[in-house]
Structure 1
């Protein structure tokens, strides 16, 4: 008999509050891993779905269970899954827009290609901060910018420099670490109180994004360097990235995590709006989630960052986490909710 399951639903399009109720237990597809969720993390997209709903995500159907970052224990696996077994400690990137695949429930279905076996040193709290941000950074760097894949230990510096904005954000933190493991120097931006965090991630130089001279300062930093491209991880940094890369020697490719207006792109640049979901069931997923990430976490080379900020315990705490995210009330932290005592 299948376990009982509960979820925090968006009950209808643009409903102002989540509803916590029973939910069907997600049966495992052939290539799925069913995870008993110990910790789920919250992302800005979650409160945007609540506010804008089908205006920006027209493919959603309701009731809907969101959540794209989880860590927990394998409950069962699909018939073709051989890398995992019940009882394994894992992180996962629920990457299908469907109730059975949302992270805000006790059990969720995750494609095995975007599940990582956790080393003993990595807690569920830390692990839940990784999946979607790692996927986003990997798609930007390796699917779009076509950079060399990361390795353990990190590749030697290759003489090329990458610009990654918002280095203290979750996406920025992981993109920096991936790029450094791939042999690239990284220049980033953040608030001054997060400079130390960015250098701990591996950035060689960090610039204050509030500075009136930011654009020129970053342009100057790239003088004499071979640009490997750039990743604009927040919409507000698109203009900066376009200016800097256009003025630099080397690659003219830019990946953006947020939609941009084509008319704002200089004629010499190639710019793409990328999505974390592009990694699912690809050879890159095997490289990042299957090989690199477990080895890098086990060795201590890769850090779970930023630190988790626990909003509360239980599915009832998810809405409170949305409100904190909506208010932009945390810096260099990842909002998480715990669902089990194992967290």
Structure 2
């Protein structure tokens, strides 16, 4: 009999604890994979820090984790994309409303994936290299292509059509940013991005036409000058503090849509405990005030700025276009670079909590990965 274990979070704000977990049973269109590597996302640390502030529907205990890579060991009814033993990378969506927050949480040895949110991994690609992809590429795709966000044309994704429109990615060295640059280029758009100077060469390798230092005092003016009257199809604002300059660029260039992947405040700046502490009250006040101020500026300028959820692509045409039609061939050909680079920080589920703590201290242009041995 196959046994399973997971890194559980038993209550809001609690430390993760590794113990036995039920072996998952796949439903229609789902597969079970034996997990070989998991990656840490800011979302995991935010859920742990926020309690039920954002994910009020979670019924604890639950299993966090979105990024997984491993081998298919079982297929549910109607699941036919993969054979047993196939090496895959996939997006575990157990945290989302209406999903199974135990069986579909990534931080465990056996997990359920929707086969529509998975892609094969070539033999020469290590699990630790591929596992950086799922939430980041899904969030980037949702920001760029969902009709409620930038609504860009993805009908020729991967065929590298030539378009004159710009897409601006504020925060190109982030996990989402690296994927947004590549997806926008694969759909034929010209890309301008921002990053710290040490990452500029990498941004150009991914396809950015121009890169500017987000810390420069004249960065907004530099981006606007580079656009030089061309149409801006939309702006993806990534990381804390990205929304305000992105809206300023939109106002100056005539862009009408900004896709926000992060709030204007850091949810790490609060105690990991319940109750309305002074720190949490100040954070919530800043969050409300900055959002009201931002949306007021957007309303005056005719700009629509909305928050992005990576899971928005699940079950829809964008998800199929990315995970079924684009990624398998793009990964196999090396057309889509797997980034950011992995930083392996452990070899067991016990390392997940340490990795979450490390993420809170700041991680740039790399992704924390744990290999399950």
TM bin (shorter chain): over 0.9
1:91 corresponds in structure 2 to 89
1:9 corresponds in structure 2 to 8
Aligned-partner Cα distance in 2 for 1:157–1:235: 32
Is 1:167 the counterpart of 2:166 in the alignment? no
User: What is the TM-score with the length of structure 1 in the denominator?
Assistant: 0.95
Aligned-partner Cα distance in 2 for 1:153–1:163: 19
Aligned-partner Cα distance in 1 for 2:158–2:80: 26
Is the CA contact (8 Å cut-off) linking 1:150 and 1:292 kept in structure 2?
Answer: no
Is 1:331 the counterpart of 2:364 in the alignment? yes
Is 1:111 the counterpart of 2:114 in the alignment? yes
Instruction: Find 1:264's aligned residue among 285, 294, 301.
Output: 294
Question: Which consecutive unaligned segments of at least 5 residues does structure 1 have?
Answer: none
Aligned-partner Cα distance in 2 for 1:70–1:258: 22
RMSD, aligned CA: 1.4
Aligned-partner Cα distance in 2 for 1:44–1:164: 19
Aligned-partner Cα distance in 2 for 1:5–1:153: 38
- 1:54, distance to aligned residue in structure 2 (A): 1.0
Instruction: Find 1:298's aligned residue among 323, 326, 332.
Output: 332
- 1:55, distance to aligned residue in structure 2 (A): 2.4
Superposed counterparts of 1:48-197, under 5 Å: 48-97=46-95, 98-143=101-146, 144-149=149-154, 151=156, 153-197=158-202
Q: Kindly report structure 1 stretches of 4+ aligned residues shifted beyond 6 Å.
A: none
Cα separation, partners in 2 of 1:153 and 1:291, compared to 1, 3 Å: closer
Aligned-partner Cα distance in 2 for 1:137–1:150: 16
Question: Which consecutive unaligned segments of at least 5 residues does structure 2 have?
Answer: 96-100, 265-290
User: What is the TM-score with the length of structure 2 in the denominator?
Assistant: 0.87
- 1:30, distance to aligned residue in structure 2 (A): 1.2
Per-residue displacement from partner, 1:49-69 (whole Å, max 9, x unpaired)?
222211232111211100000
Superposed counterparts of 1:270-285, under 5 Å: 270-285=304-319
Is the CA contact (8 Å cut-off) linking 2:158 and 2:326 kept in structure 1?
Answer: no
Instruction: Find 2:30's aligned residue among 23, 32, 41.
Output: 32
Aligned pairs, how many? 336
Superposed counterparts of 1:196-207, under 5 Å: 196-207=201-212
- 1:13, distance to aligned residue in structure 2 (A): 1.3
Aligned-partner Cα distance in 1 for 2:78–2:158: 31
Aligned-partner Cα distance in 1 for 2:155–2:8: 37
- 1:152, distance to aligned residue in structure 2 (A): 6.7
